[in-house]
Amino acid sequence: MGVVTWYLILFSISLAFLLLRAKAKTKKQKKRLPPGPPALPLIGNPLWLKKSYNSLESDLRRLWAEHGPIVMVHMGPQRSIFISDRRLAHEALIQKGAVFADRISMPSKQHNILGARYGPLWRLLRRNLISEVLTPSRVKTYTHGRNWVLKILVQKLESESVRSDDGAVTVLESFRYAMFSLLLLMCFGEKLDEEQIRQIGDTQKKLLVNLDRYSLLSIIPTIAKIFCRREWNDMVETKQRQAELLVPLIRIRREKQGKKIVNEDDPNFVFSYVDSLIDLRLPDEGDRKLTDAEIVSLCSEFLDGGTDTTSTALQWIMANLVKFPKTQQKLVEEIDSVLSAERKLEGKEERGFNNIISEDDLQKMKYLKAVVMETLRRHPPAHFVLPHAVTEEADLGGYTIPTDAMINFLVVPMGLDEEMWEDPMEFRPERFLDRDEELDLTGSREIKIMPFGAGRRICPGLGLAMLHLQYYVANLVREFEWKVRDGEEVDLSEEWDFTTVMKNPLRVVLCPRSRTK
């Protein structure tokens, strides 16, 4: 082969390389990633690597002031994008919902709704939960369960008040116990005893508190078994304990189905979430049924999703009713007005549960809903929506959103937007009564608050959560006058504990209300 030929070959290769490099450079120049603090390759920003999400908000406010409402932070090798603007949230979650509905893949979270990638499995699991458990007609069948739990809750509050040296009660743990008991009934169809409830609750709490650590261990199991032996064994033991507690409950429901004991016409029968999972099949995985371990994962998700969030929101609502007694009195007047009109009670009503506020009554209590909505605006239980990811590169706010980034939408800034809310720091439920139309919590038309997220990944239990909050607030306010001891005040400072709770838990004096109407 001649010299000229070699030169031509080398020239062609060099030209091709230069063209490819120029094309790549041009493509790179077109990408404009969101701004943020400087980062080192692979390590990211060392200062941010040590931070947990709950400690980020003050730093993020500084970054938004400097860069605008969308910023990117390198937390180790992971790129995390944080968005505070409600318009950008609407563009991403509603207008471009299909693109922004993915999750970063986590091996330990493939067969549940929260962690599944956006696709057929996620659709199947979510559709099953909504159609089998969370439809209005199905939720109505759990009315007796809500009444049962209300009695337990009131009795606990009364007994703790009697045992207390000064008559004051710290209410959060009672709220958690009540919500967890109700969700266990909905999940497994059985009214469990107190010991079972506490054992399952303690195990679920441990898994929840260690969620990030256990997830990291699950990603690198081979390394974790060697270098993090103690942590690995702790995770394995906790998950084994969870299986020991939950699998027998699953098998009880499976045996009842196999023996055809299940009869939905039986007034004592409770259709459970597990009942809907036992015969569920996965078409994309050989049409197989779910394993016990996968059902445990879905049950765990169901229990966690509605316990801490609802009990935390319930504490915030009651804290504001205590802090603002005029609001509490106005709510009491609405409740009495609705009940008097509905039931036309005569004489003195016996104190007790002969006249629990029903779910039909709640529909007529507009101020009650306004109190709940205002609390969710001011004190959303979760300050971050669970991280999203994009199915393909997308543009948002003039920036390129890469497929490997975790996308975080902050809830609090949207509820405090001064363009949308007058005097946003003030607690004023009346703002929700003065509107021309009822605020859409789904954000489909416009995002104004998003305590349940928005778009395709919106919390499927939104309707159930709103029902539970209104039901328990109304009945607890009707049962007791809520106030603090003389000389004490309600402290609305916040603290992170999976959800954003009160730094100093609500401690109240409960005075039974007179029932003379």
Pairing of strands 78-83, 406-409: parallel
Rounded Cα distance between 467 and 138, Å, is 13
Cβ-proximal residues to 315 (8 Å cutoff; 6+ apart), any chain: 171, 172, 175, 501, 502, 505, 506
Q: Is the pLDDT of residue 88 over 70?
A: yes
Q: What DSSP designation does 494 have?
A: E
Separation of alpha carbons 143 and 132, rounded Å:
16
Q: Is 380 within 8 Å of 415 (Cβ atoms)? A: yes
Which of the residue ranges 112-126, 258-272, 308-322, 341-355 would you say has the lowest mean pLDDT? 341-355
pLDDT at 165: 87
Which residues does 328 contact at the CB level (< 8 Å), separation at least 6? Answer: 321, 322, 477, 481, 482
What percent of the chain shows pLDDT beyond 90? 70
Spatial separation of the C-alpha atoms in residues 80 and 379, rounded to whole Å: 24
Q: How far apart are CA 208 and CA 121, in angstroms?
A: 24
**Looking only at Cα atoms, what is the longest distance across the chain?**
115
Spatial contact of 130 and 460, defined as CB atoms under 8 Å apart: yes
Mean predicted confidence (pLDDT) in 88-104: 96
pLDDT of 310 reads: 97
Residue labelled with tokens 């609390």: 375
**pLDDT grade for 480, boundaries at 50, 70 and 90:** very high
pLDDT digits 0-9 by tens, 318-362: 999 999 999 999 999 999 999 987 665 444 454 444 568 999 999
CB 500: neighbour CB atoms within 10 A? Answer: 22
Asked whether residue 185 carries a pLDDT value surpassing 80, the answer given is yes
Residue whose pair of structure tokens reads 């931070």 in the numeric block: 51
Binding region for heme: 459
Between 262 and 147, residue with greater pLDDT: 147
The percentage of residues in the chain with a pLDDT greater than 70, rounded to a whole number, is 85
The rounded distance, in Å, linking the Cα atoms of 500 and 308 is 10
Query: Residue 321 is encoded by which pair of tokens?
Result: 């009713």
Using alpha carbons, select from 310, 363, 408, 359 the residue that is nearest to residue 51: 408
**Chain mean pLDDT for the chain:** 88
Tokens of 38: 């400087």
Quick check: 295 and 301 in contact, CB under 8 A? no
Residues placed in the known binding site:
459
User: What are 193-218's pLDDT values in tens digits?
Assistant: 999 999 999 999 999 888 777 776 77
Residue 483, pLDDT score? 96
Query: Taking the alpha carbons of 317, 510, 324, 499 in that order, is the dihedral positive or negative?
Result: negative
User: Given this model, what pLDDT does residue 106 score?
Assistant: 65
Residue 223: per-residue pLDDT? 75
Cα R_g (the chain), whole angstroms: 26
* Angle subtended at Cα 338 by Cα 335 and Cα 341, rounded to the nearest 5 degrees: 145
448/222 Cα distance (integer angstroms): 46
Whole-prediction pTM value? Answer: 0.89
Q: Hey, what are 382's tokens? A: 């979760």
Asked if pLDDT for residue 243 goes beyond 70, the answer is yes
pLDDT at site 229: 85
Exposed e or buried b for every residue in 423-451, given b needs 16+ CB within 10 A?
ebeebbbebbeeeeeebebebeeebbbbb
Task: Write out the H or E segment, with its range, that includes residue 111.
Answer: none
pLDDT in tens, 118-168: 999 999 999 999 999 999 999 999 999 999 999 999 999 999 999 998 889
What are the pLDDT digits (tens) for 17-44?
A: 555 655 554 454 468 999 999 888 767 7
| Residue 488 CA, distance from chain mean position | 32
Provide the token pair at 109: 């979270």
Alpha-carbon gap, residue 283 to 251, rounded angstroms: 23
Residue 350 DSSP code: P
What's the rounded mean pLDDT across residues 427-433?
96
User: Scanning the structure block, which residue is given the tokens 């409960």?
Assistant: 510
Q: Determine the pLDDT at residue 102.
A: 96
For 38-62, what is each residue's pLDDT tens digit? 888 767 777 676 666 667 888 899 9
DSSP-derived secondary structure for 280-329? -EEGGGTTEEPPHHHHHHHHHHHHHHHHHHHHHHHHHHHHHHHH-HHHHH
Residue type, 397: G
pLDDT recorded at residue 19 = 56
Dump pLDDT digits (tens) for 392-402.
999 999 999 99
